[in-house]
Structure 1
Amino acid sequence: MDVLSANTPQGKVYRALIAHPRSTVADLAELTALDPDEVEQLLGELHESEVVMKAGAEWDAQRPDLVVAAALLAEDRRRMLLRQAEAELAEIYRFARRERSGYGAVEVLDQTSAVFEHYRRFQTGAVHQVRNIDRPPYFWDEAELGSQENLQIERMAAGIKYRTIYPESEQESPRRSEGMMRTVANGERARVMVDPPIKMAISDHRIALLPLETLIEGNPDSLVTLLIHSSGLLDALSSVFESFWRLAVPVTTEGIRRPLDERDREILTLMASGATDDAIARQLGLSRRTVVRRAAALLERLGATTRFQAGVQASRRGWL
């Protein structure tokens, strides 16, 4: 994958060859500002990986589509091996902790204080990301809510990504809306949707908390929550989150309710109908470059990766 990056020595050599075919080692050293000996060594490694080709003293780049196809194939193999290792280790983990009458991937927490403590550990143990679906009822008091907000901001500053889906009613609550805006301003990616059906949190692909939103009768400190370890159930919950994420509307500190201008509305309407960039440009009398630029800005503003998602999001906001 290093060869596809513009910031690695391999990437610099490969990109130089794409732009300057049939270059010598001396040519490439000058183009990349790398030492000739290092360039020669890199070319040898890239040639072995079939990323570059040699003709006498001159070198040329392999076609980028073939290089990317090979990288994707290698990535698929790596993911398959990781999944196999995960399945084997998870089975050993569950077997070592399984009670005869229980399902080893799920623990039941029936004390609210234990849930809060697990959620703190859950975040401090995250390596890549924390995903949340937030909805009432809420069991944190003001102090606990403030402590959680501070912990999240600290973890985001340490490089952990947070993605949270909030209920739309959250924006109508001054206290919770202010907290949401602070975490968004500090790096949280947040979206809102009408009445999310579940409350849950997922740390990386390792563990999840699933509150059942019920209290044991006669015990006010008895929020029943499932602690779910790596398993098919955790995979299913992860897929549920991603499905809801695609349907929810992005929150930004720049005001997501800022209306569209008429030109963007026309472009978005044609995008949602399935028109290509060329067709939109012809119909609106714009250059293709302008259409591509404005369409990309609309996708980013809507938090969408496809035109279909953009149409769904725009419709939910009342833009179409």
Structure 2
Amino acid sequence: MLEAAGLTTVEETVYRLLVTSATASAEEISAQTGLPSEQAEGVLAALATKGLASRTDRQPRHFAASPPDVALLPRLQRHADALDRARTAVTDLLESYHSAARRQDAGQLIEVITGREALRQHLRQMQDNARHEVLWFCKAQYVAMPSGTNRAEYDALARGVRYRVLYEQAFFDDDGAIANVVEGVRAGEMARSVPHLPLRLAVADRTIAICPLVPGGPQGNPSEPTAALLRDSSLVGALTALFERYWEDAVPLHVSASGTMSGTDDAADPLSETDRRLLSLLVAGVADKAIASQMGLSRRTVQRHIQHMMTIAGAATRMQLAWQAARRGWL
């Protein structure tokens, strides 16, 4: 039972005897276990080396067990840490293996998915496996997931995955669509709106994408859509770039405390005079430290203002903030 702590079966047997006895000598261990005296001495010496036993002061030939919590728990933790590192290494090796296989076999880059249920399963799995970010094009009239049924998003958001979702305007005509978007934004989703999207799309960690190919299956049945699952390739890179291009032109969606949703562009001027002055210095290329000195603010306050403006603009980077600032007339 204690192999995970690095003990052999014989060592575990002797350690258990020591735990239940005040002290024991090699001869006593030999008598109770049937081990030869020399082997019993070797096992006690091994336990002492591993910190699980020690010689007593009054009877040097006798050994006493170290407390299990002191002797075993740290060893188990080290083994657990080593196992986690090994698991991470195996995951990296597996990814390298699949990447090499995909380079040699183009058939592994694209997988055709047919049917609503199969498409839903792949979309859920893609989100469950996402580590960093999910990008989404949401068009009107769902194919596989009705609005509000994608609970995998909330699980991913809860573990720190960032969601950026683009909705085309016709999407909000669906029943309950606005309420579902409000729920998503409140959970941490970054949402924007555009007049029209060219296709349906989901991208996870910029390495895997799902893109429906035709609205129906081989027999033209609208309940059986056909989609492509694309793995790490230039195709995924192109689709990610397409998303970023639409994201730059989209209008960020704002949800008020009362649950009302509106485009940030339609809201009242969200910037203070301090924000505008700071933004002009930032766009001019002035470093945070110099901005703080010039405006009489701390660097932390400067960074807090910048983060606030990025949130308002729906910008993921400072470069996007500058672009949005110019687009909105903030400068």
TM-score range for the pair, normalised by the shorter chain length: 0.5 to 0.7
2:194: which partner in 1?
Answer: 193
Residues 133 and 166 in structure 1, CA contact (< 8 A), matched pair in contact too:
yes
Q: Deviations over 1:257-301 (max 9, x none)?
A: 233468479659957995969xx99xxxx8688998756643442
1:110: which partner in 2?
Answer: 114
How many residue pairs get aligned? The number is 229
Residue 269 of structure 2 corresponds to residue 259 of structure 1? yes
Q: Which stretch of structure 1 is more off in the superposition, 212-221 or 110-119?
A: 212-221
The one-letter code sitting in structure 2 at the alignment partner of 1:178 is: A
The one of 122, 135, 142 aligned to 2:139:
135
Residues 190 and 314 in structure 2, CA contact (< 8 A), matched pair in contact too:
no
Give the Cα–Cα distance (whole angstroms) in 1 for the partners of residues 314 and 148 of structure 2: 28
Aligned counterparts, 1:30-41, within 5 A: none
The one of 229, 232, 251 aligned to 1:230:
232
Residue 314 of structure 2 corresponds to residue 313 of structure 1? no
Give the Cα–Cα distance (whole angstroms) in 1 for the partners of residues 160 and 197 of structure 2: 27
User: 1:157: how far off?
Assistant: 1.7
Where do 5+ consecutive residues of structure 2 fail to align? Answer: 1-91, 257-261
The one of 74, 79, 92 aligned to 2:101:
92
Residue 319 of structure 2 corresponds to residue 304 of structure 1? no
TM-score (norm 1): 0.55
Q: Which stretch of structure 1 is more off in the superposition, 223-232 or 150-159?
A: 150-159
User: 1:200: how far off?
Assistant: 0.6
1:74: which partner in 2?
Answer: none
- Alignment CA distance shift 1:295-1:184 (3 Å): closer
- Alignment CA distance shift 1:84-1:146 (3 Å): closer
- Alignment CA distance shift 1:275-1:174 (3 Å): farther
User: 1:194: how far off?
Assistant: 2.8
1:154: which partner in 2?
Answer: 155
1:125: which partner in 2?
Answer: 129
TM-score (norm 2): 0.54
Residues 134 and 202 in structure 2, CA contact (< 8 A), matched pair in contact too:
yes
- Alignment CA distance shift 1:231-1:248 (3 Å): same
Residues 247 and 309 in structure 1, CA contact (< 8 A), matched pair in contact too:
no
User: 1:187: how far off?
Assistant: 1.6
The one-letter code sitting in structure 2 at the alignment partner of 1:301 is: I
User: 1:316: how far off?
Assistant: 5.3
User: 1:173: how far off?
Assistant: 5.2
Where do 5+ consecutive residues of structure 1 fail to align? Answer: 1-82
- Alignment CA distance shift 1:314-1:225 (3 Å): same
2:185: which partner in 1?
Answer: 184
The one-letter code sitting in structure 2 at the alignment partner of 1:236 is: A
2:43: which partner in 1?
Answer: none
User: 1:119: how far off?
Assistant: 0.9
Q: Computing the radius of gyration over CA atoms, which structure comes out larger, 1 or 2?
A: 2
- Alignment CA distance shift 1:146-1:304 (3 Å): closer
Report the secondary structure of 1:159's partner residue.
Answer: coil
Residues 168 and 194 in structure 2, CA contact (< 8 A), matched pair in contact too:
yes
- Alignment CA distance shift 1:192-1:222 (3 Å): same
Report the secondary structure of 2:215's partner residue.
Answer: strand
Report the secondary structure of 1:185's partner residue.
Answer: helix
- Alignment CA distance shift 1:240-1:181 (3 Å): same
